[in-house]
Amino acid sequence: MNGDETILILFYDITFLVSLVLTIIYAAMWHKHFNVHFTLIFTLIPISNLGYVLLTHSDSLNGAIIGQKVIYLGGCYMVLFILQSIFGMCHIKMPRKLDVVLLILNTVIYMSVLTIGYSDIFYKSCSYGQDSSGAAFITDREYGIMHTVFFVMISLYSLSSIAALVYCYFKKKSISRKMIFLLLIPEIVVLSAHIFGKKFLGEVEIVPVAYILAQIMYLLIVKRLCMYDVTDSAIDSLVQTGNTGFISFDLKFNYLGSNGTARRIFPELSELTVDYPVSKNVSIHDFFMEWLSEFVKDEQNDKFYRKIEENTYLIDVNHLFDGKRIIGYQFIITDDTKNQQYISLINSYNSDLKEQVEAKTAHIEDMHNKLILGMAVMVESRDNSTGGHIRRTSDCIRILIGKIKETGVYELDDEFCKRLIKAAPMHDLGKIAVDDKILRKPGRFEPEEYEQMKTHAAKGAEIISTILEGTDDEMFRKIAVNVAHYHHERMDGTGYPEKLKGGEIPLEARIMAIVDVYDALVSKRCYKESMPFDKAFAIIDEGMGSQFDPELRESFRLARTELEAYYS
């Protein structure tokens, strides 16, 4: 047997296996919103292709006829299910009675198929044959009247399907043009295979290949349906409320659909075609794209207002989901006019009160800050080795974070910077709990004394947390606690009190660590003279990566001149 004959034998086996795999893929993708006729189509195609396998592997006329009957099971019902799926996708309602009549007609035709070998109404006669590769086939077929009815049925169903798709393309903007083309391709391919296949290829059937192509097209369709059906379900539920608008777009900003309320608020939506980008409509492109762009940049920017005539509408932007998978964007639109009027009224009544409260709050906050600073100064006055350390570190923090913002190595917002500068004087507040004998010792510490001194970091965090408990500025409290607690940690994990390593150390503490050590190096203490700037700089620079955050190396280098000028 030659290679071509071997390929011919395997042809139908392979088409059956491929169609079975595609059906399994469909089963994995199945969604409760899928048209039931899709499931029937994916069920029938492997069965029909199995018929070709049974036919080619048969060893008698009876076996070949059984395979042919299985083939016609798909042929008789496939075109009907394709027609019904197209009508369903195009929102063309087929009367229930007509559905029943067509199903009965197809069943009658298939019952005539089952008479092959017993009656002449479908096949008047046929013979059994095998080619040189051993593949069986039915030859010398003489068709009966029901075979003619079968082909007329296929032609009428196919033409009706094509007509429905053409009608939707020109008349229904609510139907995706992509979907129309995807539905049209398998219809034409299957019809052509039934009519013209044998005319060009003799006994070789191309219908199994046409069925496989149809499956591939339908897999693309159901993948898209996951998006549309989620949208439709959301629209249906929101329509029931009567006053909530819903609009959806895919991830490429193509329009997917909207409900009547949304189109009443934004009449321009009626001009959009499903699956076309919103940019096609200039009148609504600007504000819709502005909202989408803001949401894409930062998902916190999910609420927008638009005033239309006398009404103010709240536009809430969210992701559109299929299960846990993001497939697009949705806009929920509600009339917020009364709420905005109420807010405006309340604001006008409370504006004076707000100013008074803000003034009182600022006064209390100022007193609070002075109290904390006073405690820090009191602690420093007990430590005879760190005079002026509080003020200097606060000023140096300001210099360093300015360079960090300049390099952009970390994105520091203005509020973070203000809080860190404000928290810097509190970093050694825990020394208030250290014994005077140790704190005021003029020389270096013994190991036991050093261990006691190291407790000031954790104690400072506890004190600050207690002092700031209940503050309105919870972020300041967190930064101040972190600065006090972790400013002696090292990047290599050998610091104290927690031996944190690398990114485990909060950024504010990493910044404070550099300033704290630099001031200690270049300042005169009771047990040492001030260190030259060059040497202090070299020590800090060398410690980048082991003691200090290496990402801050460039910022520290840029701050060098300004720091030296400050200390000079």
Query: What's the pLDDT tens digit per position in 246-279?
Result: 888 888 888 888 888 888 888 888 778 888 887 7
Among 69-78, 365-374, 427-436, 541-550, which stretch is predicted with the lowest mean pLDDT?
365-374
Residue 283 in tokens:
């009148």
Radius of gyration of the chain (CA): 40
Residues in CB range of 95: below 8 A, 6 or more apart: none
Output the CATH code of domain 354-567: 1.10.3210.10
Percent of the chain with pLDDT over 90: 23
CATH H superfamily, domain 241-335: PAS domain (3.30.450.20)
- Report how far residue 209's alpha carbon sits from residue 11's, in angstroms, rounded to the nearest whole number: 10
Write the single-letter amino acid at 145: I
Q: Would you say the C-alpha torsion 506, 512, 514, 520 has a positive or negative sign? A: negative
By the 8 A CB rule, do 442 and 527 touch?
Answer: yes
Residues in CB range of 416: below 8 A, 6 or more apart: 475, 479, 508
Mean pLDDT within 494-511: 93
Confidence of residue 366 (pLDDT cuts 50, 70, 90): low
CA 511 to chain centre: 35
Please state, rounded to an integer, the average pLDDT across all residues of the chain.
Answer: 82
- Report how far residue 323's alpha carbon sits from residue 321's, in angstroms, rounded to the nearest whole number: 6
What is the fold of 3-225? Rhopdopsin 7-helix transmembrane proteins (1.20.1070)
Q: Would you say the C-alpha torsion 211, 216, 219, 225 has a positive or negative sign? A: negative
The whole-model pTM stands at 0.45
Write the single-letter amino acid at 190: V
- Report how far residue 474's alpha carbon sits from residue 472's, in angstroms, rounded to the nearest whole number: 6
The CATH 3.30.450.20 portion of the chain extends over: 241-335
By the 8 A CB rule, do 127 and 140 touch?
Answer: yes
Residues in CB range of 401: below 8 A, 6 or more apart: 412, 417, 420, 421, 511
Write the single-letter amino acid at 157: Y
Report the SS3 class of residue 303: strand
The CATH 1.20.1070 portion of the chain extends over: 3-225
- Report how far residue 554's alpha carbon sits from residue 537's, in angstroms, rounded to the nearest whole number: 12
Read off the pLDDT of residues 293-349 as tens digits, 9 standing for 90 and up.
888 888 888 888 888 887 888 888 888 887 677 888 888 888 887 887 777 777 666
Answer whether residue 538 shows pLDDT above 90.
yes
Angle at 372 between CA 371 and CA 375, to 5 degrees: 90
- Report how far residue 182's alpha carbon sits from residue 224's, in angstroms, rounded to the nearest whole number: 10
More confident residue, 359 or 215: 215
Answer whether residue 183 shows pLDDT above 80.
yes
DSSP of 491-528 = TTS--SSS---GGGS-HHHHHHHHHHHHHHHHS-BTTB
The CATH 1.10.3210.10 portion of the chain extends over: 354-567
